[in-house]
């Protein structure tokens, strides 16, 4: 290989690709070659940088200059000015929204200042389609260490000691889950990666798989070793074509390098991974439904217990973990549980990736240590509310969570504290609403989603969500009465208590929490009965609530 003096990193995440980053990369390559610099300067397509709002992102190394919103036609200037002459292209630098001053280094941008990248450590750093870049960044060392220097119990203990909890929504301690699965007596066990990611607006898992697929493969092998499974399955929705293609590439490369397959690292441990495609049903993210779907059955949940760890895939003990959970594993093994548990709060260790969306300036993917406040996320990292409007609420936990308001903004983010204030961590979707959003409409949006996604297996969820949706529809079209509000509330608790799986048990949360925090908005719609139709104040404005 030639001695490269410069790497031009171009974001190849889905967000940036949608704004044509592939063309940017292509143009850069062509022009660099035309100028005769292709032996010194390489163009590298990486995973997501997270700053999707400002994409396509181009970062020049080792200069450490961060360009935003780079168009295909900017390639020439970047090559001629920066790459050849060493002059920064000022107009492509990110401008601080406060004083409009250009910022050239990634770490000086507000959006990145409070972030800590653990699960996303390689996203925007390596080329996800090159296993050697992953290895050069320290990849597969954790697997080697686990297999050759640690017993299975030691691996389990290390993960337990780290305090890592499931990032898929439930927050169950990962080490404990591994221990339970390990203890089951069975010759055949499975480890499954849950890459269904059904939350509307969430793209954490997708970005990890697109930007750093090997970290998940490596972690699955470590988990397989710990629990005694020699087969792994990645369950991923077919709607993630780029993630699937990068996973396939990664699996092929890992097999070629002997990092998946027989006798890994010369030990007697063998492990391989297959991919199962889902059709994109929200309920298939629920682990028992997911297992049914993997077996080729309808994606419907089962009653628990037995838990998958006891009776999972084809009746065998099965450990199901989320993508982001896995992405944390290799670092815990290499850097140690002590390091990991030094980050975060008492009961929630490490970091969490969030997909920031809605009426916020910096839409994107952020990873923060547990314990930062919602205010820091919204105002420091997120750059505040679009158009200088007023913050109204933030929905965490997706359709299973609830809204949090101004009074909750100083809550430190962790599993327990979010539950205490009436929402939940969930898998990491965060949707910000401003003063123009009507909360009843928001609740209706989520309910429409869960109603559509209810698998129909149990009555409270199948019929309850439908009736709730109808009531909400009646209310938002200003035909509702106080009795309807009562009925809605009652029904909400009935669906919550009576449903079989997490989908139904949490589906009413958006209604319950908006009723609690924004009761007046419900009342206003009812009070309109006193006015002639059409004169009420209520104008549905937000895009997501329009469909009704």
Partner 1 sequence: MQIKSLEELKKIKEEYKDRVRLRSQVEGTGDQTEILVGMATCGISSGARETFNAFIEELAEEKLDDVKVITVGCVGYCHSEPTVQVNIKGQKPVLYGNIKKENVHELIEKHIKGGEPVKRFILSTDFEIV
Ligand X SMILES: Cc1cc2nc3c(=O)[nH]c(=O)nc-3n(C[C@H](O)[C@H](O)[C@H](O)COP(=O)(O)O)c2cc1C
| Residues at the site binding ligand X, with contacts judged by CB under 6 A | 166-170, 172, 174, 194, 196-198, 282-283, 285-287, 320-322, 325, 427, 501-503
Nearer to partner 1, 97 or 258 (CB): 258
Q: Identify any residues that bridge with 429 across adjacent strands, giving them in sequence order.
A: 355
Q: List phi, psi (to 5°) of 139.
A: -70, 150
Q: Identify any residues that bridge with 233 across adjacent strands, giving them in sequence order.
A: 192, 274
Contact partner, 169, from partner 1, ligand X, none, Cβ < 5-8 Å per class: ligand X
Shortest reach from residue 305's CB to ligand X, in Å: 14
Nearer to ligand X, 354 or 518 (CB): 354
**Contact residues for partner 1, defined by CB under 8 A:** 1, 3-7, 9, 40, 61-64, 82-88, 106-107, 112, 115-117, 121, 125-127, 130, 132-133, 135-138, 140-141, 144-145, 148-149, 256-259, 263, 265-266
Q: Indicate the DSSP class of residue 93.
A: B
Contact partner, 126, from partner 1, ligand X, none, Cβ < 5-8 Å per class: partner 1
Helix H segments across 311-453? 323-335, 337-341, 374-375, 415-420, 439-453
Distances (CA, A) of 482 to 6, 276, 473, 524: 67, 48, 14, 11
Nearer to ligand X, 198 or 364 (CB): 198
Nearer to ligand X, 27 or 513 (CB): 513
Shortest reach from residue 326's CB to ligand X, in Å: 7
Contact partner, 230, from partner 1, ligand X, none, Cβ < 5-8 Å per class: none
Shortest reach from residue 452's CB to ligand X, in Å: 13
Nearer to ligand X, 291 or 485 (CB): 291
Contact partner, 249, from ligand X, partner 1, none, Cβ < 5-8 Å per class: none
Contact partner, 215, from ligand X, partner 1, none, Cβ < 5-8 Å per class: none
Handedness of CA 285, 291, 294, 299 (dihedral sign): negative
For every residue of 308-348, DSSP letters joined together read: TTTS-GGGS-EEEEEHHHHHHHHHHHHH-HHHHHTSB-SS-
Contact partner, 112, from partner 1, ligand X, none, Cβ < 5-8 Å per class: partner 1
Cα–Cα distance, 305 to 412 (Å, whole number) = 33
Cα–Cα distance, 19 to 89 (Å, whole number) = 20
Shortest reach from residue 283's CB to ligand X, in Å: 5
Nearer to partner 1, 126 or 544 (CB): 126
Shortest reach from residue 302's CB to ligand X, in Å: 12
Q: List phi, psi (to 5°) of 273.
A: -125, 135
Contact partner, 63, from ligand X, partner 1, none, Cβ < 5-8 Å per class: partner 1
First-to-final CA distance of the chain: 59
Contact partner, 265, from ligand X, partner 1, none, Cβ < 5-8 Å per class: partner 1
Nearer to partner 1, 146 or 394 (CB): 146
Shortest reach from residue 417's CB to partner 1, in Å: 26
Shortest reach from residue 48's CB to partner 1, in Å: 13
Query: Are 341 and 162 within 8 A, CB to CB?
Result: yes
Residue 52: both structure tokens together: 């999707």
Cα–Cα distance, 249 to 128 (Å, whole number) = 9
Shortest reach from residue 370's CB to ligand X, in Å: 15
Nearer to ligand X, 212 or 521 (CB): 212
Burial (CB count <10 Å: 0-12, 13-18, 19+), residue 338:
exposed
Say how many C-beta atoms besides its own lie within 10 A of residue 281's C-beta. Answer: 21
């Amino acid at each position: 290989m030639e001695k490269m003096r410069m790497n031009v990193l171009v974001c190849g995440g889905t967000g940036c690709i949608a704004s044509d980053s592939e063309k940017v990369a292509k143009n850069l390559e062509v022009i660099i070659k035309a100028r005769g610099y292709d032996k010194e300067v390489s163009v590298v397509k990486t995973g997501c940088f997270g700053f999707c709002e400002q994409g396509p992102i181009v970062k020049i190394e080792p200069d450490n200059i961060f360009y935003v919103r780079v168009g295909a036609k900017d390639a020439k200037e970047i090559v001629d000015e920066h790459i050849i002459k060493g002059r920064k292209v000022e107009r492509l630098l990110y401008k601080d929204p406060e004083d409009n001053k250009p910022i050239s280094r990634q770490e000086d941008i507000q959006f990145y200042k409070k972030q800590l990248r653990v699960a996303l450590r390689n996203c925007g750093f390596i080329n996800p389609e090159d296993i050697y870049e992953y290895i050069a960044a320290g990849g597969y060392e954790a697997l080697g260490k686990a297999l050759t220097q640690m017993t299975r119990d030691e691996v389990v203990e290390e993960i337990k000691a780290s305090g890592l909890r499931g990032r898929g929504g439930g927050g169950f301690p990962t080490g404990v889950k591994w221990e339970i699965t390990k203890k089951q007596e069975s010759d055949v066990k499975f480890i499954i990666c849950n890459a269904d990611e059904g939350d509307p607006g969430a793209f954490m898992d997708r970005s990890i798989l697109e930007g750093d697929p090997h970290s998940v493969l490596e972690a699955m092998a470590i988990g397989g070793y710990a629990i005694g499974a020699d087969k792994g399955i990645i369950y991923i929705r077919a709607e993630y074509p780029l993630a699937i293609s990068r996973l396939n590439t990664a699996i092929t490369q890992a097999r070629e390098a002997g990092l998946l397959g027989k006798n890994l690292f010369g030990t007697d441990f063998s492990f391989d991974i297959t991919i199962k495609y889902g059709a994109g049903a929200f309920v298939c993210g629920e682990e028992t439904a997911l297992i049914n779907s993997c077996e080729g059955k309808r994606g419907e949940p089962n009653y628990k217990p037995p838990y998958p760890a006891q009776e999972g895939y084809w009746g065998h003990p099965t450990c199901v973990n989320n993508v982001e959970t896995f992405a944390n594993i290799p670092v815990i093994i290499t850097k140690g549980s002590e390091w990991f548990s030094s980050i975060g709060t008492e009961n929630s260790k490490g970091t969490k990736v969030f997909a920031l969306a809605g009426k916020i300036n910096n839409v994107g993917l952020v990873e923060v240590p547990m314990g930062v406040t919602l205010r820091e996320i919204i105002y420091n990292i997120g750059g505040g509310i679009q158009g200088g409007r007023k913050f109204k609420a933030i929905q965490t936990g997706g359709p299973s969570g609830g809204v949090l308001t101004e009074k909750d903004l100083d809550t430190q983010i962790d599993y327990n504290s979010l539950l205490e204030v009436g929402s939940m961590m969930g898998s990491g979707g965060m949707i910000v609403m401003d003063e123009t959003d009507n909360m009843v409409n928001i609740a209706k949006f989520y309910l429409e989603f869960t109603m559509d996604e209810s698998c129909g297996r149990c009555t409270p969820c199948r019929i309850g969500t439908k009736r709730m949706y109808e009531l909400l529809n009646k209310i938002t079209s200003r035909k509702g009465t106080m009795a309807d509000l009562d009925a809605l509330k009652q029904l909400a608790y009935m669906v919550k208590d009576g449903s079989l799986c997490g989908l139904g048990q949490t589906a009413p949360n958006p209604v319950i929490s908006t009723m609690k925090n924004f009761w007046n908005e419900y009342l206003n719609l009812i009070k309109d009965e006193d006015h002639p139709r059409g004169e009420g104040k209520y104008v549905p404005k937000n895009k997501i609530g329009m469909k009704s």
